[in-house]
Amino acid sequence: MTPAVLDGSLKLGGALQRRTLWVLASGTILGGLGLGASLSVGALLLAEVSGNDAISGLASAAFNAGAAIAGIPLARLAAKHGRRRALVAGSLIATLGALVAILSTVVAQWWVLALGIGMLGVGSAVQLLSRFSATDLALPHNRARDLSLVVGSITIGAVVGPNLMGPGASVGTALGITPLAGVFVFALIAQILAALVNWLGLRPDPLLVARSIAAETSEEELRVDDPDAPPAGEDPASAGSRRWNVILVIFVVAMAQAIMVALMAMTPLHIMDHAGTPEIVGITLSVHIAGMYALSPVFGLLASRVGRIPVIAAGWVMLLGAIALSYVSGESHLIVQIALGLLGLGWGAVTVAGAALLTELTALAERPRWQGRSDTFMSAAGAVAGVLSGVVFAIGDFSFLALVAGVLLAFGAVASIQLGIRTRRR
């Protein structure tokens, strides 16, 4: 390819990338409006309908299970037909899930509610896929930044979402359903709008355009533009080493997800057990979600400038602080709120830097597959943590749950140290 043609391709990709980021951010904001509220309401509704606090953990478990089940199929759909169809398909499934959740309150069956929450979890898989979609046309040095911008856009919808519990109760009462279930009406509308934004806005599809540009660019030119791309004729030993690094990244991100879900899932019950109110629960979850997403662009910039591994390490330090505060929180709502804020910040640092590192360690042709696997294991870890958190909380208390989370942190930190050593050698 001549320099003029290569320059033209990069300019086309740059203009389309800016537009793609706006579309992905808009769809992500809409999708987040209903998901945050649905998860917190789901835990309370499951406990109320079933009469068993331990079952409340199934809300997070079902939500993350839905995201886990959808991760690989959506990635395959994206690899075959592009990001647009995958994102829209996921949003439509989440829309149906909101409808099932609403109907579950009419029939008063907790397992139907869990099914609806699980289908809503596919909306979370859409958000995970959206962040990777932001890297398709990004230049190598901008990948972490662009990815984090889409993650950061979740802040608006996710922070507002838990505070829709009050308005949702009014809507539920007006519709003649369980008041708290009114939040699912907001989720239904938001998912439909998100699907429309992505369907109309992602034309042309960023992944398909990236493949077209790559096909026109020689392998040598790609290596000049992307020093992290696998070299031509990579020997089996190097390929195996790179594959193991990818697996370590996936494990690290999954551990961060498990810690976050375990503590977050039981926070509403812990607060309500200590003279809390739905409003305090909403504020606490808003602080937590703001920590998860609001500073994502900062973590993206830091990952680009100081490196992915240092940002991951900083994330583990923040998660350790969150666990320590959760252990000593007792009846203090303020300490719980600070702990949940740190929990969100630590999760954001690990997942943003981890996703950027995963993208760099995989070639363009195989990225959707590995990204789907990462999203699946990440969500599966959250699903398992959601189930076990309810059991652990029922056996002990919030402090005991924090101790268990500390064990998960140790596993994640050890894997991160090994990953750091291996990537330095590479």
What phi and psi, each to the nearest 5 degrees, are found at residue 101? Answer: -65, -40
Each residue of 368-403: pLDDT tens digit? Answer: 889 999 989 998 898 888 878 888 988 888 899 999
User: By the 8 A CB rule, do 323 and 167 touch?
Assistant: no
Structure pTM? 0.78
Structurally, the chain folds into a number of domains equal to 1
Residue 32: domain span: 3-425
pLDDT tens digit sequence for 320-346: 999 999 999 888 889 999 999 999 999
| Whether residue 116 has pLDDT greater than 50 | yes
Query: What mean pLDDT is predicted for residues 198-209?
Result: 93
Most confident among 277-286, 292-301, 399-408 (mean pLDDT): 399-408
Give the model's pLDDT for residue 239. 65
Residue 99: per-residue pLDDT: 94
CATH of the domain at 141: 1.20.1250.20
Q: What is the mean pLDDT of the chain?
A: 84
What pLDDT, on the 0 to 100 scale, is given for residue 342? Answer: 95
What distance lies between CA 399 and its chain's CA centroid? 25
- What is the rounded average pLDDT of the residues 402-410? 95
CA pair distance 327, 324, nearest whole angstrom: 5
Check the CA dihedral 387-392-398-402 and report its sign.
Answer: negative
Band (160; pLDDT cuts 50, 70, 90): confident
Work out the average pLDDT over 46-72. 78
Q: Residue 23 is which amino acid?
A: V
Per-residue pLDDT of 351-367, as tens digits, reads 999 999 998 888 877 88
pLDDT band, residue 223 (cuts 50/70/90): very low
**Between residues 174 and 47, the one the model is more confident about:** 174
Residue 294 main-chain phi, psi, to 5 deg: -60, -40
CA distances from 304 to 148, 371, 412 (A): 11, 19, 22
